[in-house]
Amino acid sequence: MIGIIGAMSVETDGIVGKMDNIRRDDFEKFEFVSGRLHGKDVVVCKCGIGKVHAATAAALTVARYPNVYLLISVGVAGGLHPEVRQGDVVVGAKTVYHDFDSTADGIEKGRVSGLDFTYFESDGKSVEKMSRIISDMGVKCFTGIIATGDMFVGSDEKSKQIRREFGADACDMESAAIAQSAYLLGRRFFSMRAISDNGDGSAIGDFYSFVVKAAQVSTEAISKFVENY
């Protein structure tokens, strides 16, 4: 079974709309929608915005559906790479926290205390497959690094800082948290994000203008990925 997690309804409703044999299951504060997509077993969860929502949803997905072997973080993000624009897609080969900071304790910025690595590696085969699918859709695709933090990045200064410190191509508020949960729970993971804004001073306005279109791109890509998995 494939577990698909998005923060907002606009990021998950389109996927649910393509599913058959739907069953809705309220568990704790979350609703899980399981069913079949192109004949494959999937479960979708709208987790809510931010790292705690995302990590909790990922853990509960695996607890409620133990046969989930792949977790996918879907939705929209801000672009950080100078060539990434609205409507493009970034598939995360790696994810990292841009706001985890234990440097006062001599630990590299972004590294979770207790771990011996800073970047969470995604499932390579899934990343390759998704990147190819997106390119075949005629959408510009970047395979790179997604940086996560509890912050809507809306300034050039902050965008450039995250790009400089972590080499990130996009920023969001959930992917690394889901990646960490997947790591701790022994599940495969990757993130794909359609770009809704460029993390600059116009980010808020751009987000609301592009979020629906970006989510539609994400939905179509996920559908094709599951179909060809």
Residue 42: CB atoms within 10 A of its CB come to 25
SS3 42: strand
- Asked if 197 is an active-site residue, the reply is yes
Out of 123, 169, 174, 197, the active site residue is 197
Question: Helix, strand, coil % (nearest 5) of the chain?
Answer: 40, 30, 30
CA terminus-to-terminus distance, the chain: 11
Residues ≥6 apart with Cβ < 8 Å to 38: 223, 226, 227
Phi, psi of 169 (to 5 degrees): -100, -20
| H/E stretch holding 96 | strand 89-97
- Asked if 121 is an active-site residue, the reply is no
Q: Tell me which residues are annotated as active site.
A: 11, 197
